[in-house]
Amino acid sequence: ETGADAWLRYAALDAAAARRYVNTLPPVVVVLGNSPVEQTAQRELIRGIRGMLGVTLRVSSTVPAEGAIVLGLDPAVRKAVPGTPAGNPLAEDGYALSLRTAGTARHLSIAGGSERGVLYGTFALLRKIALGEAMEALNEHSAPYAPVRWVNHWDNLDGTIERGYGGRSIFWDKGVVREDLSRVSEYGRLLASLGINGCSINNVNTDPRILTAEYLPQIARIAEAFRPWGVRLVLSVDFGSPQRVGGLATFDPLDAGVAAWWKAKTDELYRAVPDLAGLLLKADSEGRIGPSAYGRTHADAANVIARALKPHGGLFFYRGFVYDHHMDWRNLKNDRARAAYDNFNRLDGQFDDNVVIQIKHGPIDFQVREPASPLFGALEHTNQAIELQVTQEYFGQARQLVFLVPMWKEALDFDMQARGAGTPVKALVAGKVFQRPTGGFVGVSNVGLDANWLGNHMSQANLYGYGRLAWNPDLTSQQIAAEWTRLTFGNDPQVVQTIESLQLKSWRVFEDYTGPLGLQTLTDIVGNHYGVSVEASERNGWGQWHRSDEKGAGMDRTVATGTGYAGQYRPAVAKRYESLATCPDELLLFFHHVPYTHMLHSGKTVIQTLYDLHYDGAVSVEGYVNSWKLLKGRVDERRYAEVLAQLEYHAGQAQVWRDAVNNWFHRASGIADAKGRVGHQPGRIEAEAMTLEGYAETPVTPWEGGSGGK
Ligand code: BDP
């Protein structure tokens, strides 16, 4: 298997299970509406049933007396299926599945609160069958947790993808939209199966040409490929567009000509793509221009574009990822973590109702462990969405196995105490706490043309998990891992148990051998964000620091003696992080600077914990290889071999990280490892110890990047 079908393989069930479903399900399908999305639902149902049960549903235009699987909008289904009890209307995009028997007739209805709901209900039914769930007493209602369930792509018009690890763009090639968009429709299918309803197709570091007339018909083709799957198009825009492509003298958001330009441009976009979901902007960040060029606020900037979108029902997403990337790392008061809150909190109440502030889940940038961004708890009069990164930029870039759902769950479930206890981030972003008109979830997904989409079979679990959480953030990590594994690799209990357990522990293991205790990902943050580099994770202008030196480690972000970041949380949360006594070990060095001999709540010193976790982490990854090998013959050969190769590489990488980080902290602290391991680098063969033909020894920079500095 190539992995192209991801979790929608519809592999044949074993004969007994298939027979059970064939006996329960009506053999006829009727679709009541003729919208493209409902037609898609019918085709998908036929495809899934044929794949899993080996039977082809008969298509009928009317509901036969002996019963049928009936698909349609809620009111239409109630009318068509005899005896359907009246109930509350379904939520938009929600669905209801039910099986009803009357005499010899049997009706299975898939009713949607919208056309999308019909499609989502169909996928839900197929998922149940693939998972072997009982159908006899089927009666289920499901509604999405939030209206916004989008993905973003950081694809460049030349076909490369910023932070993409699964091949070239499925949308773009050599400056134009690809001729063949079949991969885009397949992707639309994957997204729809999760209930994702919006997708941006170009990098937030935007090429302004996207808004020129030449691109409109091309963009319209992508919208067309997505439309049958209920996925609406989103574009990233450049804030300088009125000047750069519009030829105006200014892009000042308060200039009447600029406002008129955005309005005319937006009208033109909607003529080409009438169901455009909205626009997205990264401004005043990492070299992107923004309102600061004219001394205007982010609200001025957001509202001018939002007002142009408003008559079309479009949303405007303004990224909260705004910070100064030219900070002096020697200034102990400089703190990038403060930036989102400092920039946006004071503007709360000034954004129009169709503006959404898109906030990364932590205050820095997708690091291995960050507290949830305090901005979620601060905005009361502004729509917000949480941005989660599906593409594994700081997480081994699809070469290492890291299942991100447990990390996202911690952020989503974190109680911001925004109105006393009981206001988790998920409820805040969905607009449930302060009764906002919209909000929700955005995943940076960055799939590519690789057969398996993400460059690694196991990484698909992150896309799946993101989508499932966006629909229902109350699902547990374990439920999601189990579902994904069974849909992707089948129901063999040993396979399920092994893969589920690898996935579930993988984030913590990754944290252990990279940057535990709140140190973050100790990588070259100006470069590729992949390999270990403790030096470069500190001495840079981009503000991702941890302040480790000879005396101790950690960044003092307290109000009392540090940058004051802890004070951006509501008092109850701020108090917990402010105090060494109550700050959790896993975030200690994110909030406090302590000596290496500081005793953790666990009863162990910081330095010994760093050493131990790095050894434990590397041992765990070696264990991945061993458990995977036991699946030989139980997983199809191609995927077995590809995952094995990746895990073996991963095990080596974990050792490289282990030794580099431990050597660095050993040299910095001058404190020996109580177990005497540091410096010995078990499992590795030094090139310096080999006979070198055609190679020479040389010192490397940073020194910890080479074992023994060479
Ligand atoms: C960082 C990425 C960079 C993105 C930026 C963003 O390294 O490529 O442009 O985030 O989110 O994590 O805008």
**Mean pLDDT to the nearest integer, 565-582:** 98
> What Cα–Cα distance (Å) separates residue 208 from each residue in 156, 235, 289?
11, 11, 11
Is the distance from the beta carbon of residue 365 to the nearest atom of ligand 1 less than 6 Å?
A: yes
Same domain? 374 vs 504: no
The arithmetic mean of pLDDT across residues 47-69, rounded, is 96
Give pLDDT tens digits for 178-204: 999 999 999 999 999 999 999 999 999
The 3 state secondary structure assigned to 634-658 is CECHHHHHHHHHHHHHHHHHHHHHH
CA distance 577 to 574: 5
- Whether 89 and 124 map to the same domain: the answer is yes
pTM above 0.90, yes or no: yes
The label of the residue with tokens 């993988």 reads 506
- Say which amino acid occupies 682: P
Which two tokens mark 624? 């991945």
Q: Residue 282 Cα, ligand 1 centroid: separation in angstroms? A: 10
pLDDT digits (tens, 9 = 90+) for 479-507: 999 999 999 999 999 999 999 999 999 99
Please list, in sequence order, all residues whose beta carbon lies within 8 angstroms of the beta carbon of residue 8, skipping any fewer than 6 positions away: 48, 126, 189, 190, 193, 487
Which one of the listed residues 162, 286, 492, 616 is annotated catalytic? 286
Same domain, residue pair 405 and 434: yes
- Of the residues 96, 125, 142, the one at which a domain ends: 142
Average pLDDT over residues 344-368: 97
* Lowest-confidence segment of 112-116, 251-255, 551-555, 681-685 by average pLDDT: 681-685
Q: Does the residue 289 lie in any domain?
A: yes
The predicted pLDDT at position 499 comes to 98
Same domain, 411 and 524: no
Q: Please give the ipTM for the structure prediction.
A: 0.97
Answer whether residue 85 shows pLDDT above 80: no
| Mean pLDDT taken over the chain | 96
Please tell me whether residues 153 and 120 are part of one structural domain. Answer: no
Chain center to CA of 678: 36
Q: What is the mean pLDDT of residues 69-91?
A: 89
Question: How much is the average pLDDT of 126-130?
Answer: 98
- What is the residue type of 133? E
Bridge partners (DSSP) of residue 632 are 635
How far away, in angstroms, is 411 Cα from ligand 1 center?
Answer: 19
Asked whether 282 lines ligand 1 (CB < 6 A), one says yes
Is 323's C-beta closer than 6 angstroms to any atom of ligand 1? no
Tens of pLDDT, residue by residue over 654-696, are 999 999 999 999 999 999 999 999 888 778 888 888 899 999 8
Within-domain flag for 459: yes
For residue 163 and ligand 1, the question of a CB distance below 6 A is answered with yes
| Cα(696) to centroid(ligand 1), Å | 37
CATH of the domain at 510: 3.90.1330.10
Decide if pLDDT at 369 tops 90. yes
> Within this chain, do residues 290 and 377 fall inside the same structural domain, yes or no?
yes
Overall average pLDDT of the 218-239 stretch: 98
Distance 511 CA to ligand 1 centre (A): 20
Give the pLDDT confidence of 235-254 residue by residue, as tens digits.
Answer: 999 999 999 999 999 999 99
**Nearest CA residue ID for atom 2, ligand 1:** 163
Going 239 to 242 to 246 to 249, the CA torsion angle's sign is negative
Token reading at 167: 């091949």
Q: Give yes or no for residue 393 CB within 6 A of ligand 1.
A: yes
Q: Report the C-alpha gap between 172 and 49 in whole angstroms.
A: 34
d(CA 59, CA 98): 19
- Structure-model confidence comparison of residues 88 and 405, the more confident one: 405
In a domain, 316, yes or no: yes
Which ligand 1 atom sits nearest the alpha carbon of residue 163? 8
In this structure, the residue with its CA closest to atom 13 of ligand 1 is: 204
For residues 148 and 314, give the distance between their C-alpha atoms in angstroms, rounded to a whole number: 12
Q: Does residue 332 register a pLDDT over 90?
A: no
Judgement on whether residues 602 and 505 belong to the same structural domain of the protein? yes
578 is catalytic: no
> Where would I find the H helices in 252-387?
256-272, 298-309, 339-344, 375-378
In a shared domain, residues 126 and 245: no
261 and 119 in one domain?
Answer: no
What's residue 653's pLDDT?
95
In this structure, the residue with its CA closest to atom 12 of ligand 1 is: 365
404 and 502 part of one domain: no
The protein residue with its alpha carbon nearest to ligand 1, atom 9, reads 205
Contact 96, 138 (CB under 8 A): no
**Inside any domain, residue 495:** yes
Q: Rounded CA gap, 115 and 109, in Å?
A: 14
Find out whether the beta carbon of 325 lies less than 6 Å from any atom of ligand 1.
no
> What is the band of 52 on the pLDDT scale with cuts at 50, 70, 90?
very high
Distance of CA 709 to CAs 32, 82, 256, 350, 407, Å? 69, 77, 60, 54, 33
Range of the domain at 100: 15-142
When computed from its CA atoms, the radius of gyration of the chain, rounded to whole angstroms, is: 26
> Residues 163, 154: contact at Cβ < 8 Å?
yes
* Probe residue for ligand 1, chosen from 317, 321, 325, 358 as the CB with the greatest number of ligand atoms within 8 Å: 321
Using CA atoms, how far residue 35 sits from 73, 181, 230, 429, in Å, is: 11, 21, 11, 31
Pick from 446, 475, 504: which residue ends a domain?
Answer: 475
In a 13 Å sphere around the CA of 274, the CA atoms on its Cβ side amount to: 0
In the set 1, 365, 578, 704, the catalytic residue is 365
| Planar angle of CA 82, 83, 88, nearest 5 degrees | 115
Is 512 among the residues known to form the active site? no
Amino acid 507: pLDDT? 98
Residues 153 and 194 in one domain: yes
Structure tokens at 250: 């200014």
**pLDDT at position 87 over 80:** no
Q: How many residues appear in the chain?
A: 710
Going by pLDDT thresholds of 50, 70 and 90, the confidence category of residue 294 is very high
Confidence of residue 36 (pLDDT cuts 50, 70, 90): very high
Q: Are 337 and 364 spatial neighbours (Cβ–Cβ below 8 Å)?
A: yes
The 3-class secondary structure across 91-106, one letter per residue, is CCCCEEEEEEEECCEE
In a domain, 464, yes or no: yes
What is the number of the ligand 1 atom nearest to the C-alpha of 205?
A: 9
Is the shortest distance between the CB of 284 and ligand 1 below 6 Å? no
DSSP secondary structure code for residue 128 in this structure? H
Task: Spell out the residues 6+ positions from residue 422 whose beta carbon is closer than 8 angstroms to its own.
Answer: 415
For the CA atoms of 422, 426, 430, 435, the dihedral, rounded to the nearest 10 degrees, stands at 10
Task: Give me the pLDDT at residue 302, please.
Answer: 98
Least trusted range by pLDDT, from 1-10, 277-286, 685-694: 685-694
Name the residue among 44, 126, 143, 47 with its Cα closest to residue 88. 143
Q: In this structure, is residue 585 part of a structural domain? A: no
Q: Determine, yes or no, domain membership for 570.
A: no
For the stretch 138-161, pLDDT in tens is: 999 999 999 999 999 999 999 999
Q: How far is the CA of 50 from the centre of ligand 1 (A)?
A: 43
Active site residue 415: no
Task: Give how many domains the chain has, as a whole number.
Answer: 3
Q: Facing residues of 176 across strands?
A: 173
Active-site residue, from 393, 450, 578, 673: 393
For the cut 90, the answer to whether the pLDDT of residue 525 exceeds it is no
Q: Residue 522: count other Cβ atoms within 10 Å of its Cβ.
A: 28
Q: Is 99 left (phi over 0), alpha (psi -120 to 50) or beta?
A: beta
Residues 188 and 316 in one domain: yes
Is pLDDT of 25 > 90? yes
62: domain CATH number is 3.30.379.10
Candidate from 393, 397, 444, 544 with most ligand 1 atoms within 8 A of CB, to mutate: 393
- In the predicted model, what is the mean pLDDT of residues 81-93? 84
Q: Centre a 10 Å sphere on the Cβ of residue 677 and count the other Cβ atoms it contains.
A: 17
Question: Which atom number of ligand 1 is nearest to the Cα of residue 154?
Answer: 9
Tell me: the pLDDT tens digits for 631-654? 999 999 999 999 999 999 999 999
Q: Select from 442, 475, 508 the last residue of a domain.
A: 475
- Is residue 579, in this structure, part of any structural domain at all? no
Work out the angle at residue 463's Cα, subtended by the Cα atoms of residues 411 and 363, and round it to the nearest 5 degrees.
30
Q: Which of 160, 205, 368, 389 to mutate to test the pocket of ligand 1 (most atoms within 8 A of CB)?
A: 205
